[in-house]
Amino acid sequence: MTLLRYTAWRLAQAVPVLIGILFITFLLVNAVPGDPVRLMVEGQEVDQATIDMLEARYGLDKPFHERFANYVLGVMQGDLGHSFHRGMPVTELIMIRAPPTLMLVLSAFVFALATSIPLGVIAAKRRNEPADHVSRLLAIFGVSTPSFWIGIMLIIVFAVWLGLLPSGRLVYPWRDPGFYGLNNRLELWYHSIRHLILPMIALGTLQMATLMRIERSSMVETLQKDYVRLARAYGVPERTILRKHAFRSAQLPVITIVGLNLSTALGGAVLIETVFEINGMGRLIVQAIAQHDYQVVLGVTVVLAFIFLIGVIITDISYAYVDPRVSYGDED
């Protein structure tokens, strides 16, 4: 199978999963005892006619399977429904809220990779030495600490006490500098980065810790491989072995984990966006739940799962690119 066909095959495989995601979220959101309209108007004086009108408007008077079929058809056309609370299409709302989340998650992974790879390599090189033990402690505490608490602590230290960095909200580099009262692109980038640092670290710490462990164990395993021992026997310097022979092939498990951890990072973004008051998809879903805006909850959940699926497919394909040994799933 060629790489192109493999890509198509992976995409086709994602379709049942995507429909499954739609079904599960749809089922959950519709599990509301009573119905969403009643939940929406809770605490307000509303007569039966209004409720009927609202139900008809959002198609809630139809049976479950019909509503689900309509929803799937809508999603296929890029229509995620209509927000009760904000009076706008959910798709449009998500288009506005997605870029901040993606920026946050991507920067968190950049931070995590930039720190975990060197630390992991050092830990593997000095296996069972103090540096290795320290990195292990760091990694375990990293996965044990709630990301939102790291965020709160970072705000208290760097924003409240030291006053070095802003405590929240993001500055978006794709906006016009004038929007923030800035003069040029350079200043805009400077402020974007300053605003991004704390949330990026808060979200990225968990990823850093996980990736560091993977990097270490993968490096340790690679350094024991025959070809590495051969290179060593030929007298190739340890530095060169590390850089040229072992490093590249040791990155394969790391790539896989990055893809799989996208899900954790997107979930973490919900908390980090709340702590740092970032108007991304995570904060949107929290607000939507509080406002009983169930179409938005449904839409965001589906989009987050969709982003994860795309991420996994990209890692699978890049894996196939990097490692020629990967079979594309066919028997012959």
Partner 1 sequence: MATTEGQLDETAEGTGEARVGWRHTIDQVKRDTTARWGMYVIVIVTFVALFSALDANLNRLTLGHISNYAIGQALPLLEHPERIPPPGEIYRNEPPAFAEGGSWEHPMGTDHEGRDYLTRIVYGTRISIAVGFVATFIGLVGGVAIGAVAGYYGGWVDDALMRFVETIYAIPALVLVIVFTVFVSGGRPDVIYAVVGVGLASIPVFSRIIRSRVLSVREMDYIEAARAAGVKDRNIIMRHVIPNSFAPVLVYATLQVGVAVLIVAGLSFLGYGAQPPTPDWGQMLNYSHGLMHSSPWHSIWPGVAIMITVAGFNFFGDGLQDALDPRIEN
Find tokens 């079929």 and name the residue.
69
Within 10 angstroms of residue 259's Cβ, the number of other Cβ atoms is: 19
Find tokens 């994602």 and name the residue.
14
Per DSSP, 165 falls in state S
Cα–Cα distance, 188 to 197 (Å, whole number): 14
Query: For the chain, how long is the longest CA-to-CA vector?
Result: 86
Smallest distance, partner 1 to C-beta of residue 4, A: 23
Instruction: State which H helix or E strand residue 86 sits in.
Output: none
Closest CB to partner 1 among 192 and 195? 195
Assign 82 to helix, strand or coil.
Answer: strand
Buried b (16+ CB within 10 A) or exposed e, 77-99: eeebbbbbbbeebbbebbeebbe
Closest CB to partner 1 among 17 and 317? 17
Closest CB to partner 1 among 11 and 28? 28
Smallest distance, partner 1 to C-beta of residue 254, A: 19
Instruction: State which H helix or E strand residue 146 sits in.
Output: none
Smallest distance, partner 1 to C-beta of residue 88, A: 21
Torsions phi, psi of 101, nearest 5?
Answer: -65, -45
Smallest distance, partner 1 to C-beta of residue 77, A: 21
Smallest distance, partner 1 to C-beta of residue 13, A: 9
Which residue ranges make up the site for partner 1 (CB under 8 A)?
16-17, 20-21, 24-25, 28-34, 39, 42, 136-137, 140-141, 143-149, 152-153, 155-156, 160, 263-264, 266-268, 270-271, 274-275, 285-286, 289, 292, 294, 297, 300-301, 304-305, 308-309
Closest CB to partner 1 among 70 and 145? 145
DSSP string, 200-241: HHHHHHHHHHHHHHHHHHHHHHHHTSHHHHHHHHTT--HHHI
Is 83 within 8 Å of 182 (Cβ atoms)? no
Smallest distance, partner 1 to C-beta of residue 252, A: 17
Cα–Cα distance, 258 to 274 (Å, whole number): 23
Q: Encoding tokens for residue 96?
A: 């506005």
Torsions phi, psi of 166, nearest 5?
Answer: -65, 150
Closest CB to partner 1 among 214 and 271? 271
Smallest distance, partner 1 to C-beta of residue 137, A: 8
Closest CB to partner 1 among 155 and 254? 155
Q: Encoding tokens for residue 1?
A: 């199978």
Closest CB to partner 1 among 117 and 297? 297
Closest CB to partner 1 among 70 and 263? 263
Find tokens 């927000």 and name the residue.
83
Smallest distance, partner 1 to C-beta of residue 156, A: 5
